[in-house]
Structure 1
Amino acid sequence: MINVLHLIHKYRGDYPLLNQQVNLDPARFRTVVCYLSGEDDGRNSLPAAGIKTLYLGFKPKSLRLHNLSLLWRLKRLMDKNDIHVVNCQQHRTTPLGVIAAGMAGNKPAVVSTLHGLGTASSIRRKLLNWFLYRSLHRVIAISRGVSEDIRRSNWGVSADKVVTVQNGLNYDRFLVPLAREEARRQLLPEMSDGFWFGTVGRLSPVKNHTTMLHAFQRVTHELPNSFLLVVGDGELREELAAQCESLGIARHVRFLGWRQDIPKVLKSLDAFLLPSLREGLPLALLEAMACGLPVVASAVGGIPEVVEDEDFAQLVDPDDSRGMAEAMLRLARLSNRELHMRGEAGRRRALTTFSAERMIAGYEQVYQEAYEDWLRRNPGTTR
Structure 2
Amino acid sequence: MIRTPKVIHLITRMDMGGSAQNTLMSCLELVGTYDTVLSFGPSSESQMTSGEQHAVDRQMARFRSRGGRVAVFPGLVRRIDPIRDTVTFVRLVRWLRKEAPDIVHTHSSKAGLLGRWAARLAGVPVIVHTPHGHVFYGHFRAAVSKLFLLLERLSDRVTDHIICLTQAEFTDYIDLHVTLPGKASVIHSGVDLQRFKKPEVAPTLTRESLDIDDQTLVVGTVGWLLPIKGPEVLLEAMGQVWQHRSNIALVYVGKGDLEKPLKARVRRMNVADRVRFLGWRTDIPDLMHSFDMFVLPSRNEGMGRVIVEAMAAGLPVVANRTGGLPDLVSDGHNGLLVPPGDAASLGRAILKLCDRPDLRQRMGGQGRRRAENFSLQRMVDKLDALYACLLN
Q: Structure 2 length as normaliser, TM-score? A: 0.85
Deviation string, structure 1 residues 165-185 (Cα, Å, up to 9, x no partner): 111111222123454323312
Structure 2 counterpart of 1:313, from 321, 332, 335:
335
Structure 2 counterpart of 1:164, from 182, 186, 189:
186
| Aligned position for 2:22 | 17
Deviation string, structure 1 residues 252-291 (Cα, Å, up to 9, x no partner): 1111122111112111111111111111111221111111
Structure 2 counterpart of 1:30, from 23, 32, 35:
35
Is 1:323 matched up with 2:339? no
Matched-pair identity in %: 29
Task: After TM superposition, give the deviation of residue 127 of structure 1 in Å.
Answer: 3.2
Structure 1 counterpart of 2:385, from 335, 356, 365:
365
Task: After TM superposition, give the deviation of residue 28 of structure 1 in Å.
Answer: 3.6
Aligned counterparts of 1:340 and 1:128: Cα–Cα separation in 2: 46
The answer to whether the 8 Å contact 1:119/1:150 transfers is: no
Aligned counterparts of 2:90 and 2:37: Cα–Cα separation in 1: 17
The answer to whether the 8 Å contact 1:146/1:280 transfers is: yes
Aligned counterparts of 1:229 and 1:34: Cα–Cα separation in 2: 34
| Aligned position for 1:239 | 261
Task: After TM superposition, give the deviation of residue 5 of structure 1 in Å.
Answer: 0.6
* Cα distance, 1:279–1:248 mapped onto 2, change above 3 Å: same
Number of residue equivalences: 367
Task: After TM superposition, give the deviation of residue 222 of structure 1 in Å.
Answer: 1.4
* Structural mapping, 1:1-383, within 5 Å: 1-12=4-15, 15-26=20-31, 28-38=33-43, 42-45=57-60, 46-58=63-75, 60=77, 69-104=87-122, 106-119=123-136, 122-154=145-177, 157-177=179-199, 178-185=201-208, 187-189=209-211, 191=213, 193-308=215-330, 311-335=333-357, 337-350=358-371, 352-372=372-392
Aligned counterparts of 1:13 and 1:295: Cα–Cα separation in 2: 21
Amino acid at match of 1:96: L
Aligned counterparts of 2:156 and 2:189: Cα–Cα separation in 1: 22
Aligned counterparts of 1:27 and 1:285: Cα–Cα separation in 2: 29
SS of residue in 1 equivalent to 2:322: coil
Aligned counterparts of 1:114 and 1:100: Cα–Cα separation in 2: 17
Where does the alignment leave 5 or more consecutive residues of structure 2 unmatched? 45-52, 138-143
Name the stretch that deviates more: 271-280 or 116-125.
116-125
Aligned counterparts of 1:247 and 1:66: Cα–Cα separation in 2: 44
* Cα distance, 1:338–1:180 mapped onto 2, change above 3 Å: farther
Name the stretch that deviates more: 212-221 or 36-45.
36-45
* Cα distance, 1:219–1:79 mapped onto 2, change above 3 Å: same
Task: After TM superposition, give the deviation of residue 80 of structure 1 in Å.
Answer: 3.5
The answer to whether the 8 Å contact 1:117/1:301 transfers is: no
**Structure with the bigger percentage of helix:** 2
SS of residue in 2 equivalent to 1:11: coil
Amino acid at match of 2:341: D
Amino acid at match of 1:20: M
SS of residue in 2 equivalent to 1:132: helix
* Cα distance, 1:97–1:318 mapped onto 2, change above 3 Å: closer
Task: After TM superposition, give the deviation of residue 3 of structure 1 in Å.
Answer: 1.0
Q: Structure 1 length as normaliser, TM-score? A: 0.87
Aligned counterparts of 1:98 and 1:108: Cα–Cα separation in 2: 11
Task: After TM superposition, give the deviation of residue 43 of structure 1 in Å.
Answer: 4.1
Task: After TM superposition, give the deviation of residue 116 of structure 1 in Å.
Answer: 1.4
SS of residue in 2 equivalent to 1:10: coil
Amino acid at match of 2:9: H
**CA-atom RMSD in angstroms:** 2.5
Aligned counterparts of 2:354 and 2:150: Cα–Cα separation in 1: 49
Larger radius of gyration: 1
Task: After TM superposition, give the deviation of residue 128 of structure 1 in Å.
Answer: 2.4
Task: After TM superposition, give the deviation of residue 97 of structure 1 in Å.
Answer: 2.2
Name the stretch that deviates more: 26-35 or 289-298.
26-35
Amino acid at match of 2:40: Y
Where does the alignment leave 5 or more consecutive residues of structure 1 unmatched? 373-383
Task: After TM superposition, give the deviation of residue 296 of structure 1 in Å.
Answer: 1.2
